[in-house]
Structure 1
Amino acid sequence: MHATRIGAAATGRLRRQRVRVPWHLVASPHYSKTAVGLYIKIAALAQRPEGCTAGVAVLAEMIGTSVSGVERAITQLRRPDPDGPPPWLHTTRQTLPGGRGTTAERHVRRPAPGDPYVWVSVAAVDTLPLHLVRLYAALAYAGDRRMPVAEHELARLLNVSTRTAGTYVDDLESTGWITVHRRAGDRGRHIYQVHRLPGENSPDPTPGPGASSATSDGSGSAPADGSLAIKEDHRTDPLEKTAQVDGGIRRRRPQVVGGRAVDKDEHPHPGSVSGAAFPPVVLRVLAPVADLLPQLTDWEVRRITRAVLTQLAEYATPARLSARLATRRTAAGPITRPAGWLLSAGLPRWGCGVLACESGRLWREWAPGTAERCQVCERRPFVAEQPPPPAPGTAPPVNTPAPPSPLPPLPRPDLPCGDCGIHTPDTRCPLCSEIRRAEAAITAAVDAALALADTDDPRVLAVARTAVEARMRADLLAQRPDPRHATALTMALAMRLAAETRAQQARAEALEALAQSPRAAAEARQAAATALRFPTSGGGLTAARAEARRAAAEARLAWARDELAHRMSHRRERPVA
């Protein structure tokens, strides 16, 4: 099967379709290689108008594995992630009460905004073994973010040895999906060029003689033995090179790295480093401080590059980091230590736990100059992450970078509120904001209450909505504070909190009622049977039964949530014909 699927790349019938795969799914040890390939295939099939309706046997044939392997992967994807995220796969049963019906419809959960992801070609799942699909996704993720990769890091991701990871790299390169530029990166690392299709816009990927990643002595694989230099024997040096004349220093032999002689003078000395040592994306980020770059050493260049690439991979964009550096460079004084200022004051993010917070201001990629204030920072005193000031009567230490200052507030004229017309620095005054949030909570509570209705008639639902909303508003008005002892803003805030509490209660009641329905019971039985058939724990029959009960409860709750969301979205207030 391996040779047949690999050979399919030469037929010219590969599709150019790509899907977004969560990086957490690729890197997490809780998901097998079959789960990663199955997620990619289901995500691709779900883009069809009819969705993904392929059965387990068809999916097993598509990704080149057994039926039992696909069933285990479906179980992994349908369970809540051990690290916190919700399940990655949802299944909608389409079986009639008599046992007849159509194949279940499956759809995957897309990465949430801000979550790291990687684009993976669907043709890779059609042509590659599953362990190479995971390796391809990891190399594509590193290539998109220009992150250097070592073979021991790939081995830790794939849970194999370093030698096996090198063999996998050679196998993947032989298929044409990647091109390996061996020993062309920093410290003798390989540079991996990932292709969207095999051999597309790339040189001949066939490795030359002696260019295999799986070396005989493991040189350059592990961090402990990654040096490519050898120990010199000074007794074999020529006489004219060992002789010391007027205290001169003997010239060392050039070091050979990847077939190219690297002389010591090629590496710039401190004070002569240019911006060419940075990757292009890092140079774009450091454009506001370009005058500081020539003063950096090689070690400082690597530290700053790692700090920038880490933030770009986790949450930031080049525009955001450039704006941060420009603002802090303007507020800073004379900089005597460029590397220390960049690593401790220029590049770190200051703010609360909200990733969009920049020193009390929310960064919006679509509107960088709006300077919206962070509500979390407004609830507590904002303290910038600065070093403590020197004690009175003591001088600051020498060559200490200037203490960073928070982002200055951007000037913004007062605008009229969109509801009441009162001029306010925000688009809506606090009173109108609380009123709108209270109205939204009331609407959510009414939608949750109407989700339990036994009819879809718009006229009946409209009458029921009016009655439920009137009763709910009367209850909320009865709970409001006394107008003689509260301001309008305080009353609006109390109404909003009461409405949100009522919405949560209505949602909990609806979920409890839907979880007792026959369809929820059928989902629970199916999940329990699957858990008993493929137990993941080795604790015997008692542990398997406990796992089956947990799987049944999770399946019942998941179906109730999906059904409630479906009913709330389809039973909202619509015009009656």
Structure 2
Amino acid sequence: MTHSPELAPEPRRHRGGAGSAARGQWVRYPWRIVNDADTYAPADTNVYGKVAALSARGVSTAGVERLATYLGTSVSTVERGLRRLGRPAPTDGVRELYTHRRSHPGTGTGRTAERWCRTPARGEAYVWGPVLAADTLRPVLHRLYLALRYQVHVRGHQPTLAELAGLLRHHSGKSKGQALAEAAVSRLLDELTDLGWISLDKGAGYRGRHAVTVHDDPVHPATEPPVTPDPGDGSGPDLGDGSLAYKEDQELNDARNTPPGGPFRRRRDDRKWVGEPVDNAVSVASVAATFRPAVRPSARSAYAGPPLTLSPRVWAVLAPVRDLLPAVQIFQVRRIAREIGRQLDAGIWPEDIRDQLQTLRGWTDTIRDPGAWILHAALPVAPGPCGTTDCYRGYQRHTGTPCKACTELREARRRAAHPPHPHPRPTATA
């Protein structure tokens, strides 16, 4: 559990604080559910705030659909938030929310479950936040708002964009678990400013930080949100839980909107689409005709895609294995060309790659799969134990002789593994 005994908690707010009875209800959020971005998703703070508000005088009997209606999100988002808040956290084993089922175990019928939140422990860090923010702000903005309240009001600290990005991590997609970009956090701050929850004075703080003033209520009516999603951080709009296409577009099913020949792209057999040359260099027409492997009709249909072209620098490197290329599949030739281009761009000399292919070709007696052999055995850079660039698997790249440095390293390791006995056995005397 996260404790901050050296930090004074934020003064408790009654009915919105500042003595105003018209500002609505406030909730005390444990700082751990805002700070622990690995365990709790941004929507969990909205779910916690609503359940805590409804159970302030006992327990909450609102169903999942009712909570989703209050928060303006999907039912599945609320269900996942209740599930994460209701199980022990993997970091400290603390449960934030408790549920008492009141349905019949056999039929499942009965009354709505009762839910209530954990009371923060004495000395535990927390932050007060208005329930209005949980009802109106989307999850990532709500977590950002609570983080700003804690940093500015409790700690008296103006956070940097990097500090805020650590709290607003990706929770799905290829970037899952990674922090948001600082540019994305800056756009979220601008959105909170447009909604009236904060005031932002850019570059006016310590060492050029943004000076943030956090408000208890929106200081002005919210402006209309942008119609198009913000593509700056690589994510689409937050639609709760479903995919971006969550409703059927009836116009796509209208025959008047369907182009002639169908709505799909043409197949590659009609040659309407031609791929770019591999390695993006000069096309060699004489080479393209080489890569038309003879395929048995019983096995699969012949390749009908665009002709393959290779750049001159890749073709020169492949000189020792050119006779194997007609038996290599087209997609493997493309991968081989890309790997050679990558090594050349990394600074490896073409002569070194060519000598490596020639040496491995001389060492190999039988090659059953030429494409796999070139791609996975002959091309990978495999330096010997000495780690020098001229050494390949313990042999000199240009001459093929054993590497002296690798031989000395092997001898040194052998002597270290089998040191001489400190007390040699005495020899028998006559």
TM-score (norm 1): 0.32
Structure with higher RCO (Cα < 8 A, 6+ apart): 2
Determine which structure has the larger helix proportion and give its number: 1
> Whose Rg is larger?
2
